[in-house]
Amino acid sequence: MKGLLKGMGVTLGAMTAKKVTTSYPDEPFLMPDRFRGIQHFIPDKCIVCNQCARICPTDCITLTGKPNPDPDRKGKVIDTFDINFEICILCDLCTEVCPTEAIVMTNHFELSTFSRDDLYKDADWLSSNNTLVREDNNNIGAPAPAAKGGAKPGV
């Protein structure tokens, strides 16, 4: 009998406790700052260095460039930039090596679809994915710089 009362006490305590679940599709779930979501691509910043494609562990990034149409300027211009989200593991390595920060992470995570073909995203789709972009892409979690004047924090 003592065990039954103890169990009923736990049940009643759980029934009166504050609810922690959310109604997901109706209430958007806000992800933390360090969350690695779908990438946002800024084509104007890309210098076609191919570092993102080289460091990708799953080879899901396809990047091609063409010579700059302006004869006075050196370098290449982005021609195609595609990511296959079917195999992308959202590891954030492509954003860390990008010297111009043309690829940044967002807090978007919803990629569900009925067709695998819809998981191939091009530069137009990635550049329009511009909401919930990280404020500080490469320095999340980095220690704050030391205070000016030679004083060390905490001393």
Placement of tokens 């000016």 in the chain: 148
Instruction: Report the alpha-carbon distance of residue 74 to residue 141 in Å, rounded.
Output: 36
Q: Taking a C-beta distance cutoff of 8 angstroms, is the pair 90, 134 a contact? A: no
E strands, the chain, where? 39-41, 61-67, 76-84, 103-105, 120-121
Closest CA to 30 of 118, 107, 106, 124: 107
Give the pLDDT band (50/70/90) at residue 115. very high
- CA 116 to each of CA 63, 80, 120, 121, 126: distance values in angstroms, whole numbers, following the listed order: 20, 20, 8, 11, 17
**pTM, full prediction:** 0.71
Q: Taking a C-beta distance cutoff of 8 angstroms, is the pair 36, 96 a contact? A: no
pLDDT (tens digit per residue) in 33-83: 778 889 999 998 999 999 999 999 999 999 999 988 888 888 888 999 999
Instruction: Report the alpha-carbon distance of residue 63 to residue 53 in Å, rounded.
Output: 7
Output the CA torsion 40→131→68→47 (10° steps). Answer: -40
Residues 144-151 have a mean pLDDT of: 53
